């Protein structure tokens, strides 16, 4: 049976609600940004910090060990500025850990199909903040102010390591950010291929994405349409997907760049992650953190035993067994 040319992209809306509820159970009703929308025209560079929620930064980001994060936060940012700069979506996210599933699915762009992969570790993505930047009346968004917001976040404890934009974005903005110590930039094309959105859809399906409630974001996600004729995920006529594009860019970037979660060795069973809601609601968050650290210790001992066994067999500690060296390797890159 031929596939429909256009259909709703995320058919199970409960997946979106679950991502919001998980965030709420871990961080409450707050997020990184104090406002859902903002017009940067009304903020001088020295006032951009007023958009940040410092209570959230202090409690959730700087106090990351108490919220189940086992490595110091390193953030990725995606800016969806669009061609006309009429609206701008910004998302900030990081990796919480790795999913502990025996089987995961991977989207293959060349064949437009899914492949089941065994032994693949996929990141659990935690979105700390999303915001929609609105243009001034009869004017365009000043991308220098957007750049200023990025630097303001960095100066107030948000360890931004990666920033991406669409290929149509301002090269000058990326160049200026690149010069800022420690921030790497790249182009992530959301509309050129459907691969980034397939990564996002899979993260929802497998429960590997956690983000705050944002009315416009929820509406955009619910209205997304997969147009196979155009080979892209789009919005209905008169709709938008600025913030959806932004979280899609972050999810794609964090998924494809293994260095974003290379330091995270803990494998989190997603069922246990959902069960953590009850612990947090009962103010037993320390129990949740202890469980994660116990899992980290178990993984560390397993790696030590595996390394010892390899040495006994006369193989280098970091080598693969002959059996595991065969098979296909999935090659991914940021587009």
Q: What is the pLDDT of residue 107?
A: 56
Residue 295 binned pLDDT confidence (cut-offs 50, 70, 90): low
Which of these ranges, 237-246, 273-282, 301-310, has the smallest mean pLDDT?
273-282
In a domain, 70, yes or no: yes
What token pair was written down for 248?
A: 């899609």
In a domain, 288, yes or no: no
In a domain, 14, yes or no: yes
Could you read off the pLDDT of 32-58 as tens digits, one per residue? 999 999 999 999 999 999 999 999 999
In terms of Cβ atoms closer than 10 Å to its own Cβ (0-12, 13-18, 19+), residue 176 is middle
Could you read off the pLDDT of 88-124 as tens digits, one per residue? 999 999 998 877 654 555 555 556 555 665 556 778 9
Output 309 or 207, whichever has higher pLDDT: 207
Q: How far apart are CA 10 and CA 200, in angstroms?
A: 10
In a domain, 101, yes or no: yes
Residue 85 binned pLDDT confidence (cut-offs 50, 70, 90): low
For residue 20, what is the domain's CATH number? 3.30.420.240
- Residue 191's domain spans which residues? 6-273
Which of these ranges, 130-134, 186-190, 290-294, has the smallest mean pLDDT?
290-294
Q: How far apart are CA 177 and CA 161, in angstroms?
A: 11
Q: What is the pLDDT of residue 23?
A: 95
Which of these ranges, 204-213, 237-246, 309-318, has the smallest mean pLDDT?
309-318
pLDDT at 211 over 60: yes
For the residues 81-89, what does the mean pLDDT come to? 73
DSSP β-bridge partners for residue 106: 115
The angle that helices 14-27 and 195-205 make with each other, rounded to 10 degrees, is: 70
In a domain, 320, yes or no: no
Q: What is the pLDDT of residue 171?
A: 80
Full-model pTM: 0.74
What is the full DSSP assignment across 203-232?
HHHTT-EE----HHHHHHHHH-EEETTTTE
In a domain, 322, yes or no: no
Q: What is the pLDDT of residue 65?
A: 80
In a domain, 248, yes or no: yes
Place of tokens 């196979």: 228
Most confident of 27-41, 69-83, 165-179: 27-41
The tally of domains found in the chain comes to 1
pLDDT at 236 over 80: yes
pLDDT at 241 over 60: yes
In a domain, 314, yes or no: no
Output 22 or 289, whichever has higher pLDDT: 22
Which of these ranges, 225-229, 289-293, 295-299, 326-330, has the smallest mean pLDDT?
326-330
Could you read off the pLDDT of 253-283 as tens digits, one per residue? 998 876 555 554 445 555 545 444 444 444 4
pLDDT at 286 over 50: no
């Amino acid at each position: 049976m031929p596939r429909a040319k256009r259909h709703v992209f995320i058919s199970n809306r409960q997946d979106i609600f679950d991502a919001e509820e998980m965030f709420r159970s871990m961080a409450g009703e707050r997020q990184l940004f104090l406002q859902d929308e903002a017009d940067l025209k009304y903020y001088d560079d020295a006032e951009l910090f007023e958009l940040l929620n410092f209570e959230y930064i202090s409690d959730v980001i700087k106090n990351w060990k108490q919220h189940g994060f086992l490595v110091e936060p390193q953030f990725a940012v995606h800016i969806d500025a669009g061609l006309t700069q009429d609206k701008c979506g910004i998302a900030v996210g990081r990796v919480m850990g790795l999913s502990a599933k025996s089987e995961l699915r991977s989207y293959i762009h060349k064949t437009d199909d899914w492949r089941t992969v065994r032994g693949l570790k996929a990141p659990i993505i935690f979105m700390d903040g999303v915001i929609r930047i609105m243009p001034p009346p009869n004017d365009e968004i000043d991308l220098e102010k957007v750049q200023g917001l990025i630097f303001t976040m960095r100066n107030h404890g948000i360890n931004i390591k990666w920033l991406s934009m669409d290929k149509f974005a301002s090269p000058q903005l990326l160049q200026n950010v690149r010069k800022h110590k420690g921030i790497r930039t790249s182009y992530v094309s959301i509309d050129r291929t459907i691969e980034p959105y397939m990564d996002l859809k899979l993260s929802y399906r497998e429960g590997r994405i956690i983000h705050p409630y944002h009315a416009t974001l929820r509406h955009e996600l619910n209205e997304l349409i997969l147009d196979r004729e155009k080979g892209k995920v789009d919005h209905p006529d008169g709709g938008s997907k600025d913030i959806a594009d932004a979280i899609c860019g972050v999810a794609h970037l964090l998924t494809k760049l293994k260095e974003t979660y290379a330091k995270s060795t803990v494998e989190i069973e997603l069922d246990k992650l959902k069960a953590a809601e009850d612990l947090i609601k009962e103010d037993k968050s320390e129990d949740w953190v202890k469980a994660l650290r116990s899992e980290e210790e178990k993984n560390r001992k397993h790696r030590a035993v595996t390394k010892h066994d390899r040495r006994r067999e006369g193989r280098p500690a970091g080598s693969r067994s002959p059996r595991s060296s065969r098979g296909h390797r999935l090659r991914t890159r940021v587009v």
